């Protein structure tokens, strides 16, 4: 694995599976009485968030604390960024305080890459979502959640049929998931209105469809995407009601899923738009498992990048 995690393309299949295995081993520790590992004692992790977040920021903070790191939470709102301070000056400030890893979320695609390539900091850079580009730790936590429901001997996702539904155009979650889930052997189908599929979709390693009802009954996993209205400067569908009718996971569609199928959503959810409340809270909804796995995956990524030996069957318990 590189010294940064900027894209799923940074990971080989073996490295991706090793992170999932490490997360599972760390999960066994988290379920026990001693939740904390001393592995990152004395190390400093900075959460550098230029865009809003609930799940990602909280779970990176929890993950770092469970590994005994010091954590600094930086949010652009309320910082000197609002006075015009540049990414470079912000980064150099982090270098001066001795950050070992910087977890960055930014509205600009490529911001994490820019920080990693800049030479402004020596810290490991972890992409926590950059514009519409990628969100690699979200894809890893999604893969872990899927694997827990559909385990196989190879530790991958081969043979599974996975639908990713909705606003693919604006979704970094979809991009990272397409890269990771197909890397791990799953067959991925994207379902969206034509206006919400990216140009060049034919070159992606996926199938795609405009007809949700035709595709849903064969799927093992149904991942609904948030409609990202804050990134929409145009009209991509006539009305919310129309969108929900054609592309929402309604109660009627929930009833058409395989009995073994699971329902996923990265959050935050627009209940009543891309997913009905009944679907979000259904017994086969794994939305909260995704959140819990987010802590384990982020522990595994920090553990791996900052020098822990990847755990594949026996967790390190000494510093």
Q: Among this protein's residues, is 83 annotated catalytic?
A: yes
Nearest residue to 187 (alpha-carbon basis) of 213, 214, 210, 156: 156
The correct pick among 213, 268, 277, 307 for binding ligand CP (CB under 6 A) is: 268
For ligand CP, the closer of residues 73 and 209 by Cβ is: 73
- Our answer to whether residue 28 is catalytic in this structure is no
Closer CB to ligand CP, residue 54 or residue 152? 54
Q: In this complex, which beta carbon is closest to ligand CP, that of residue 267 or of residue 310?
A: 267
Three-state SS string over 203-252 comes to: HCCCEEECCHHHHHHHCCEEEECCCCHHHCCCCCCCCHHHHHHHHCECHH
Question: Whose CA is closest to 188, among 198, 179, 197?
Answer: 179
Question: Residue 229, interface with ligand CP (CB under 6 A)?
Answer: no
Contact with ligand CP (CB under 6 A): which of 5, 8, 124, 129?
129
Q: Find the catalytic residue in 43, 57, 106, 135.
A: 135
- Widest Cα–Cα separation across the chain: 58
d(CA 32, CA 299): 16
CA 184 to chain centre: 15
**Among this protein's residues, is 135 annotated catalytic?**
yes
Q: Active site residue: 4, 57, 66, 105, which one?
A: 105
**Could you give the CA distance from residue 319 to residue 316 in angstroms, rounded to a whole number?**
8
User: Minimum distance from CB of 270 to ligand CP (Å)?
Assistant: 13
Stretch 131-170: interaction string toward ligand CP, x if CB under 6 A: -------x--------------------------------
Interface residue with ligand CP among 7, 21, 47, 56 (CB under 6 A) is 56
Among 266, 273, 274, 293, binds ligand CP (CB under 6 A): 266
Is 131 or 310 the residue whose CB approaches ligand CP more closely? Answer: 131
Output 55 or 65, the one with its CB closest to ligand CP: 55
Choosing from 36, 41, 42, 54, the residue that interacts with ligand CP (CB under 6 A) is 54
Distances from the Cα of 293 to the Cα of 14, 26, 112, 228, angstroms: 20, 10, 23, 23
User: Which of 16-24, 33-41, 47-55, 247-255 is the region at the interface with ligand CP (rule: CB under 6 A)?
Assistant: 47-55
For residue 270, state whether it binds ligand CP (rule: CB under 6 A): no
Active site residue 231: no
* Residue 107 binds to ligand CP (criterion: CB under 6 A): no
Give Cα separations from 263 to 21, 167, 225, 229, 276 (angstroms). Answer: 23, 16, 11, 22, 12
Q: Is 127 in the site for ligand CP (CB under 6 A)?
A: no
CB count in 10 Å sphere of residue 194: 9
Phi, psi of 31 (to 5 degrees): -80, -15
Task: Tell me which stretch binds ligand CP (CB under 6 A): 48-56, 70-78, 217-225, 233-241.
Answer: 48-56
Choosing from 56, 62, 90, 145, which is the catalytic residue? 56
Q: Is 253 annotated as catalytic?
A: no
Catalytic site positions = 55-56, 83, 105, 135
Binding site for ligand CP (CB under 6 A): 53-56, 129, 138, 266-268
């Amino acid at each position: 694995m590189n010294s940064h995690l900027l894209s799923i393309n940074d990971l080989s299949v073996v490295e991706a599976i090793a992170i999932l295995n490490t997360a599972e081993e760390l999960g066994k520790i988290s379920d026990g009485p001693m939740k904390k590992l001393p592995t990152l004692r004395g190390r400093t992790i900075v959460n550098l968030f230029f865009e809003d977040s609930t799940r990602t920021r909280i779970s990176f903070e929890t993950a770092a604390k469970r590994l005994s790191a010091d954590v600094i939470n930086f949010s652009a709102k309320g910082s000197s960024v609002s006075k015009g301070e540049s990414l470079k000056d912000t980064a150099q400030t982090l270098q001066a305080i001795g950050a070992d890893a910087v977890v960055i979320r930014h509205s600009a695609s490529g911001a994490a890459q820019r920080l990693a390539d800049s030479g402004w900091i020596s810290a490991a850079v972890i992409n926590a979502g950059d514009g519409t580009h990628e969100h690699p730790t979200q894809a890893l936590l999604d893969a872990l959640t899927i694997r827990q429901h559909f385990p196989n001997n190879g530790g991958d996702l081969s043979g599974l049929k996975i639908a990713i539904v909705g606003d693919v155009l604006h979704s970094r979650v979809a991009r990272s998931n397409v890269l990771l889930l197909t890397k791990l052997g799953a067959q991925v189908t994207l379902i969206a209105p034509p206006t919400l599929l990216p140009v060049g979709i034919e070159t992606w390693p996926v199938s795609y469809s405009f007809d949700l009802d035709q595709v849903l009954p064969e799927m093992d996993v149904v991942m609904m995407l948030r409609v990202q209205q804050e990134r929409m400067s145009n009209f991509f569908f006539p009305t919310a009601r129309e969108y929900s009718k054609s592309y929402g996971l309604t109660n009627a569609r929930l009833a058409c899923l395989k009995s073994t199928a699971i329902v996923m959503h990265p959050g935050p959810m627009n209940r009543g738009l891309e997913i009905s409340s009944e679907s979000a809270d259904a017994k086969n909804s794994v939305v909260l498992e995704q959140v819990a796995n987010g802590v384990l995956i982020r522990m595994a990524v920090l553990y791996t990048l900052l020098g822990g030996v990847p755990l594949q069957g026996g967790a390190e318990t000494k510093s």
